[in-house]
Structure 1
Amino acid sequence: MNRHFSDARYYFRRGFEHLYDGLTEETEPLRRRLMEMLGREEAEEAGPQTPRERVERGAREAATQGRQAVRKVRRRVR
């Protein structure tokens, strides 16, 4: 029974990932037009190119967010 739940969770997550990717792709022209109308230039995407670099960047961002959350909690406790 537990296997069925983990399988369902996997496919549910994958479905939402595909939904997010599809919506992002479909709304890209609208986003570009809006940015153009607002007079904002798009920054060149100098992001990581390889999956390894993406994972490393995600790990750094997660660590930063974790440290910020700990600071926030410590301030509240004081």
Structure 2
Amino acid sequence: MSKHFEDARYYLGRAADHAKEGVKEELEPVETRVRELVGREKEPEPSRLDRLEADLKELSKKAEGDAKEAVQDARERLRDYRSKSAEE
């Protein structure tokens, strides 16, 4: 592809991004007014702390599940070992 077309495609993409941001910025006050009239508030984005807490909860649940699975596996191995020892 010609360098000119690559450049044109790049600048068109940037122009589209800037246009999108401009429209979003212009319509933000209208959105706020409509939300006030309707009674719906915009949900705030989760803060960094909230995201970290959610990640920690998820990791905790995963670790708990892994631990339970490891204990269950160890019990089964012990049961198998004991039953083999009893047979001998």
Aligned to 1:60: none
1:47 Cα deviation after fit: 6.4
**What stretches of structure 2 of length at least 5 have no aligned partner?**
49-88
Instruction: Find the aligned partners of 1:5 and 1:34 in 2 and give their Cα distance.
Output: 42
Aligned to 1:9: 9
TM-score, normalised via structure 2 length: 0.50
Q: 1:47 to 1:5 in 2, by over 3 A?
A: farther
Q: 1:41 to 1:23 in 2, by over 3 A?
A: same
Question: Bigger relative contact order, structure 1 or 2, given CA contacts below 8 A and separation 6+?
Answer: 1
> What root-mean-square deviation, in Å, do the aligned CA atoms of Structure 1 and Structure 2 show?
1.7
TM-score, normalised via structure 1 length: 0.56
Q: Which runs of 4+ in 1 moved over 4 A?
A: none
Of Structure 1 and Structure 2, the greater helix share is in 2
Number of positions where the alignment pairs a residue of Structure 1 with one of Structure 2:
48
1:9 maps to amino acid = R
